[in-house]
Amino acid sequence: MTFPQKPHGKPVRPEFSSGPCPKHPEWSAEAVAAKAWLGRSHRAALPKAQLKSAVDRTAAMLGAPEGYRVGIVPASDTGAVEMALWSMLGPRPVDVLVWESFGAGWATDIQKQLKLDDVNVLKVEYGALPDLSAVRPEADVVFTWNGTTSGARVPNADWIDADRGGLTICDATSAAFAQPLDWPKLDVVTFSWQKVLGGEGAHGVIVLSPRAVRRLETYEAPRPLPKIFRLTKGGALMEGVFRGETINTPSMLAVADYTDALDWAERVGGLAGLHARADANFAALQKWVDRTGWIENLVAEPAYRSNTSVCLRVVDPAVAALDDAAQRAFCKRMAALLESEEAAFDIGGYRDAPAGLRIWCGATVETADIEALTPWLDWAFAAAMSELSAAAA
């Protein structure tokens, strides 16, 4: 068995994980440590000021409209979404859009845990989007803006009725800071620090519109709410949560790391700069996909393709003819070969997604590293094909 010749050069930073995502190119532990209030109470004046600054800077950089509240909450994006679901859903019908694993998880929680009656699940397979025109304007709608595990995103929010009766609850964890968000159409937006800005895990962010605040203050959920889900007290919003007074103890090291990422984001041009970097990374990868016969973007419609969590499938006839388990084994072997060469880490497709590869193209990745990766993808494919042919002989 003969392996193909290895490419010259490698990505300087071979981290292409879709979460936790790569640190920004100027990151250093020393720079973060210098910003961290370690060994201090998060209730003390200076640490609390840093938390409030993180909230305020997030709102400013994302362009959240006046009157929208931004808060740091426990348990990453998952905690932020669950907080919204358990606190707000119930008074109206609910539409859930499902085209990948996280949307499917929200649908399961709404149906089987909250046990709501009038729930409409609009579900399609990985790589596609459901019929957005079928969303009921009188219903609360729950959806992911960007499907991290499928690589499909909504192209815009034109399908959301400006005069809607229900709330829009948007899981934007791999979209925030990389894709334009239509704020007037969004009532609850959630994300985590570990995606586009490459922050640490465990902390989530929730953004509430005035409409969402009204729901919280006028609707008492008919279910027990754990402390970490409670956003109101005595029928009024807990405003302190949106001034840096976190519900539970945050990691001040993670807060400093996020602060450092915001500093870097400002140096590269703020939100516009972050969008441009992600777009350039995706364009470089898709250019290679378009000229390469053995692979395709999992998302057929170009307008629906993510510029962050790019999901690819192997379409070479010899691999496509294999059963699902064998296809997964082939892609896993490709990923293992790349990791062994330190050319790419953590690019296997998500466990619930179709067999394939998933490459993070968010703003903290350098386009030069995407360009350096593509010859190695060709090498890994050829090497895995050589092994497959030898095993069949």
Residues 256 and 279 in one domain: no
Residues 249 and 292 in one domain: no
DSSP state letters, 144-174: ESB-TTT-BB-S-STTS-TT-SS-EEEE-TT
Residues 224 and 288 in one domain: no
- Please give the residue range of the domain that contains residue 167: 29-265
Report yes or no: 232 and 216 within 8 Å, Cβ to Cβ: yes
pLDDT of 1 strictly over 60: no
The pLDDT assigned to 176 comes to: 98
The pLDDT assigned to 392 comes to: 87
| 275: alpha, beta or left? (left if phi > 0; alpha if psi -120 to 50) | alpha
Cis peptide before 20 (omega within 30 of 0): yes
The domain total for the chain is 2
The pLDDT assigned to 74 comes to: 97
DSSP conformation class of 229: G
Listed residues 265, 291, 317: the one ending a domain: 265
Q: What percent of the chain has pLDDT over 70?
A: 99
The pLDDT assigned to 3 comes to: 73
Residues 238 and 274 in one domain: no
Which residue from 293, 265, 288, 282 is spatially nearest to 359, judged by alpha carbons? 282
- Residue 348, class by beta-carbon neighbours within 10 Å (0-12 exposed, 13-18 middle, 19+ buried)? buried
DSSP conformation class of 113: I
For residue 171, list its beta bridge partners: 144, 190
Q: What backbone torsions phi and psi does residue 36 show, to the nearest 5 degrees?
A: -90, 135
Residues 40 and 167 in one domain: yes
Reduced to 3 states, what is the DSSP secondary structure of residue 190? Answer: strand
The pLDDT tens digits of the residues spanning 136-157 come to: 999 999 999 999 999 999 999 9
Q: How many residues does the chain have?
A: 393
**Is the residue at 7 inside a domain?**
no
Reduced to 3 states, what is the DSSP secondary structure of residue 132? Answer: helix
The structure tokens 């990422």 sit at 261
The pLDDT assigned to 4 comes to: 85
Please state, in angstroms and rounded to a whole number, the distance separating the CA atoms of residues 348 and 332. Answer: 6
**Is the residue at 6 inside a domain?**
no
**Is the residue at 381 inside a domain?**
yes
**Is the residue at 253 inside a domain?**
yes
The pLDDT assigned to 249 comes to: 97
Residues 240 and 354 in one domain: no
Listed residues 265, 280, 298: the one ending a domain: 265
The pLDDT assigned to 195 comes to: 97
The pLDDT tens digits of the residues spanning 224-277 come to: 999 999 999 999 999 999 999 999 999 999 999 999 999 999 999 999 999 999
Please state, in angstroms and rounded to a whole number, the distance separating the CA atoms of residues 360 and 26. Answer: 18
Q: What is the dihedral of CA 275, 281, 284, 290, to 10 degrees?
A: -80
Q: What backbone torsions phi and psi does residue 127 show, to the nearest 5 degrees?
A: 100, -10
| Residue 164, C-beta contacts closer than 8 angstroms, at least 6 positions apart | 137, 138
CATH number of the domain that residue 42 is part of? 3.40.640.10
Residues 233 and 275 in one domain: no
Please state, in angstroms and rounded to a whole number, the distance separating the CA atoms of residues 251 and 41. Answer: 10
Residues 300 and 202 in one domain: no
Residues 174 and 36 in one domain: yes
Report yes or no: 168 and 150 within 8 Å, Cβ to Cβ: no
Please state, in angstroms and rounded to a whole number, the distance separating the CA atoms of residues 301 and 185. Answer: 23
**Mean predicted lDDT score pLDDT of the chain:** 97
The pLDDT assigned to 362 comes to: 98
Q: What backbone torsions phi and psi does residue 331 show, to the nearest 5 degrees?
A: -65, -35
The predicted model scores a pTM of 0.97
The amino acid that residue 179 corresponds to is Q
